[in-house]
Amino acid sequence: MIVTFGSINVDFVFSVAEMPQTGQTLLAAGFRTEAGGKGANQALAAARDGADVVMAGAVGRDALAAIGMQNLVQTADVSRVARVPEPTGCASIFIDGQGRNMIAVAAGANLAASADAVDDELIRRASVILMQMENDVREVEKLIRRVRQAGGKSVLNLAPAFLLAHDVLSLCDLIVVNEDEAEALAAWLECGSSAQELSERLSTGVLRTLGGNGAEACVDGAVIHVPAISIEVKDTTAAGDCFVGVLASGLDRGMPLEAAMRRAATAAGLACSRPGSQSSIPFRTETERIYSVS
């Protein structure tokens, strides 16, 4: 079982030929509203990959809450998602003609989510406690410490890249970053941004996703690299979250890290080949159709 403590958002997605510049107004070619948030996206990716998932977080008591929860309620245990007075988190996403994105997030209810929703018994039952950085940093830190004290396994997606204390980061079993987040982490730690250099500085496992170049990881001194699948990129919005969720699903079912990374890279590639946030995240059968022959 995977427990995800994370954000639940509603995405307002604008399709544009090119990204707007400062002071510029562009007419979007298309618009849609979709469920999103890093926590929800990753929980959904793990659930669609076949894992039992418990989602912990918070949404508002507003009309947006139903949109943000629409896919989770069908796939995960959402009994630990609180309803709070703050508005449901939301994001404005611009996607250009090359599939690249720019995102601004208003955290809203996500900052009211309490790590106490993940009780000690749930930590003991879970194979992976999955976290990101779109919630209150103090709650994330608290949960990391509790998972270590309880002997659980924590995977932290350091996204967005907010500074956590060195000793807190070192308590995580695996830290997942993309290239930009790795650069930010490396600057804080005053080291190189490769998975190996970050892992050596933190004395814990680090996985760095590399977009079209796949992903690399370093755990206990062993370096792993897996390639990306060859696809036509249409929308990268949820690809990173898809990777992390399917990675957690692979680890949950006992796969070695390299095999879980290959499976995650396959699912993330499929997500890039489709428009949408949660709508782009593949199901287990779709991923296995490609992963089994890769």
CATH number at residue 275: 3.40.1190.20
Q: In this predicted structure, what is the pLDDT of residue 264? A: 97
Range of the domain at 13: 2-18+30-291
What does pTM read for this prediction?
A: 0.93
Contact 67, 33 (CB under 8 A): yes
Question: Does the residue 24 lie in any domain?
Answer: no
SS3 211: helix
**Is 246 among the domain residues?**
yes
Beta-bridge partners for 84 = 60
Q: Which pLDDT value is given to residue 293?
A: 47
| Measured torsion, CA atoms of residues 15, 31, 107, 122, in degrees rounded to the nearest 10 | -100
Q: How far apart are CA 198 and CA 208, in angstroms?
A: 10
CA distance 81 to 64: 14
How many structural domains comprise the chain? 1
Taking the C-alpha atoms of residue 132 and residue 236, their distance in angstroms, rounded to an integer, is: 18
Catalytic residue, candidates 11, 49, 235, 241: 241
241 catalytic residue (yes or no): yes
Measure the CA angle with vertex 124, ends 119 and 126; round to 5°: 95
- Domain assignment present for residue 243? The answer is yes
- Give percent helix, percent strand, percent coil of the chain, each to the nearest 5: 40, 25, 35
Q: Per the domain annotation, does 25 fall within a domain?
A: no
pLDDT digits (tens, 9 = 90+) for 95-131: 888 878 888 889 999 999 999 999 999 999 999 999 9
- Judge whether 206 lies within some domain: yes
pLDDT of residue 292: 64
Asked if residue 23 is part of any domain, the answer here is: no
- Quick one: which H or E segment has residue 218? strand 215-219
On whether residue 201 sits in a domain, the answer given is yes
The residue ranges of the chain whose pLDDT is under 70 are 292-294
